[in-house]
């Protein structure tokens, strides 16, 4: 399992969908928003939590189409399906490696980019906590979408259409937690909801992803 995890980390970085691309996209979104609305600091403060969460969501979405496609193309998925390791564990490892390469750097970069959007100091901790609790759900849900579309030509667009509606609850509660923190309000309830979504996704979707992969590999 550890060897598979390290292998997936190397593949994720080398395949062009690693942390560099995600961070670059996150930075571009954060920089362009102030340019588009002008020097209105009050407006930037209000929309900063939503912009940061939306940027993180879209950055996580960038590399999903290659999450399982490389293993599908070279036949590795067939070998993993017949290996003594449960396919559910393989899917979990792939989701974890995607989060480490894509989601975790976004969590670490969010406070720095929050300064560019005039995010209040009170909102930094809730923002980081919401991203830390919510981005794993994005990777797990994205892995399920990648399993559904693996092997399809031009499956990237279909993957986005399938995954984005499933991302909406995480986006709503994650941005709400950051918004409440920025306004000095209690953010415990939306943070618990984000954590619940992640726990539910991590417990159920690897089973569904493995079942879908078994069907696609027949």
Q: Rounded to an integer, what distance in angstroms lies between the CA atom of residue 142 and that of residue 121?
A: 31
pLDDT of 101 > 90? The answer is no
**pLDDT at position 188:** 92
Number of independent structural domains in the chain = 1
Identify the CA nearest to 94 among candidates 145, 160, 153: 145
Look at the pTM and tell me if it is higher than 0.75: yes
Structure confidence by residue, pLDDT tens digits, 116-160: 888 898 999 999 999 999 999 999 999 999 888 887 776 677 888
Q: For residues 138 and 62, is the Cβ–Cβ distance under 8 A? A: no
* Residue 111 lies in domain: 2-216
Q: Rounded to an integer, what distance in angstroms lies between the CA atom of residue 207 and that of residue 214?
A: 11
176 Cα distance to chain centroid: 17
């Amino acid at each position: 399992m550890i060897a598979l995890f390290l292998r997936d980390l190397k593949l994720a970085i080398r395949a062009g969908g690693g942390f560099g691309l995600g961070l670059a996209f996150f930075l571009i979104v954060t920089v362009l928003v102030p340019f588009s609305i002008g020097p209105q600091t009050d407006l930037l403060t209000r929309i900063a939590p939503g912009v940061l969460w939306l940027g993180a969501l879209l950055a996580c979405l960038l590399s999903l189409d290659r999450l399982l496609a490389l293993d599908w193309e070279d036949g590795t998925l067939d070998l993993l399906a017949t290996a003594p390791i449960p396919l559910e564990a393989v899917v979990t490892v792939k989701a974890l490696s995607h989060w480490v390469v894509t989601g975790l750097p976004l969590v670490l970069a969010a406070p720095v980019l929050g300064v560019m959007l005039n995010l209040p100091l009170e909102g930094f901790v809730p923002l980081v906590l919401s991203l830390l609790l919510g981005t794993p759900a994005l990777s797990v849900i994205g892995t399920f979408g990648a399993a559904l579309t693996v092997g399809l030509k031009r499956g990237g667009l279909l993957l986005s259409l399938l995954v984005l509606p499933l991302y909406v609850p995480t986006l709503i509660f994650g941005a709400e937690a950051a918004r409440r923190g920025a306004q000095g309000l209690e953010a415990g309830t939306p943070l618990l909801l984000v954590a619940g979504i992640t726990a539910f996704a991590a417990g159920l979707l690897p089973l569904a992803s493995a079942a879908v992969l078994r069907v696609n590999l027949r």
